[in-house]
Structure 1
Amino acid sequence: MKRVPMTVNGEKALRAELDRLKSVDRPRVIASIAEAREHGDLKENAEYHAAREQQGFIEGRIQELEGKLSQCQVIDVTSIPHSGKVIFGTTVVIVNIDTDEEVRYQIVGDDEADIKHRKISVNSPIARALIGKEEGDIACVATPGGEIEYEISEVLHL
């Protein structure tokens, strides 16, 4: 079985979503289905069909989350000695050499990646270029527009 890396916060978020689906959403949908059944003919009952469809989505998401959590390998980056190297879970401040634009990213698992919150997947091209490098190193990232060089200005273990 392939282990999927995940941060402590990522695992907590998935567990919270799973708990909500099981304890809040699933019972609510079951109650909606029971209520819709009381209205009579199920063939033409839109409420019943909508509730059954929603139940299918909830059950599918529960199975998906349980599968991800069973395969995850939680990595607590705060317990790893700070070596200055870019590793899974670290936050990296990089500077585009051509434009001097500074960007800060945290390298996280696939399920946690959220570019709006500056979290990039460990499997993304930029993270793969950064992993193993140290402060002051140059990382070349292949993009559709050509290679971009970034200097690693800071590596944080938050």
Structure 2
Amino acid sequence: MSRGFVKEDDQEEAPFIPPRAALPAGEINYVTPNGYQKLLNERDSIENKLSHLDIEDEKEKRHQRAILTGSLNLLNERIVSSRILQLEEQAQDEVRFGATVTFKLEGKPAQKFQLVGVDEADIKQNKIAFVAPISRGLTGKKVGDSTIVFIGGKNQQIEILDISYS
């Protein structure tokens, strides 16, 4: 097709839509009740932004609308695929999804993390995704158990000191 009658200004780049947190193929999208509520709140926020786009430039407005719509579509897919696990239904004496685990890496002080869904993982809040290598290594263990986990480029021994579901 001839491009003789196409104005260069009409050519818009496809917007970059940031991907959601990685969930390995075939993995169930487990979420805590708190994590599910955060997803719903995020959806409300995006829908609110979409309905209140206050941008004069039509090209920029279309661009922002495409980004928000794409983000909303990805978020809705994640919400639909979510499986909420109630913390009180987990085996309280072993590490499972939702557990807050206190553990000690050899030669380091004790650390405390909660095993959560991929969308709610945030290392700054001591929340790690259940698909992370350290989470997989801790899952099924009990207080006093030790295990070897490959993290930081090497095998490291971890001792489980405490497990809670609060």
TM class, shorter-length: 0.7 to 0.9
Q: Structure 2: which 5+ runs fail to align? A: 1-25
Partners of 1:19 and 1:130 in 2: CA distance: 35
2:56 is equivalent to residue 51 of structure 1: no
Alpha-carbon deviation of 1:110? 1.1
Q: Scaled by the length of structure 2, what TM-score is found?
A: 0.79
| 2:71 aligned partner, one-letter code | R
Query: 2:103·2:159 contact (CA, 8 Å) conserved in 1?
Result: yes
2:135 is equivalent to residue 110 of structure 1: no
Q: Structure 1: which 5+ runs fail to align? A: 37-46
Partners of 1:20 and 1:11 in 2: CA distance: 14
Query: Which structure has greater helix proportion?
Result: 1
| 1:154 aligned partner, one-letter code | D
> Which of 32, 36, 39 is residue 11 of structure 1 equivalent to?
36
Runs of 4+ in 1 over 6 A off after TM superposition: none
Once the two structures are superposed, what CA deviation does each residue of 1:81-123 show, in whole Å capped at 9, x if it has no partner?
52x1000000000012223x11100001111111111100111
Q: Helix, strand or coil: the match of 1:54? A: helix
Partners of 1:89 and 1:105 in 2: CA distance: 10
Query: 1:138·1:151 contact (CA, 8 Å) conserved in 2?
Result: yes
Partners of 1:2 and 1:70 in 2: CA distance: 14
Partners of 1:48 and 1:78 in 2: CA distance: 51
Aligned-residue CA RMSD (Å): 1.6
Partners of 2:45 and 2:153 in 1: CA distance: 42
Residue in structure 1 matched with residue 138 of structure 2 by the alignment: 130
Query: 2:90·2:96 contact (CA, 8 Å) conserved in 1?
Result: no
Partners of 1:60 and 1:128 in 2: CA distance: 31
| 2:103 aligned partner, one-letter code | I
> Which of 49, 63, 71 is residue 25 of structure 1 equivalent to?
49
Residue in structure 2 matched with residue 39 of structure 1 by the alignment: none
> Which of 24, 48, 61 is residue 71 of structure 2 equivalent to?
61
The equivalences for 1:71-150 within 5 A come to 71-80=81-90, 82=92, 84-99=93-108, 101-150=109-158
Q: Helix, strand or coil: the match of 2:119? A: helix
Partners of 2:147 and 2:60 in 1: CA distance: 50
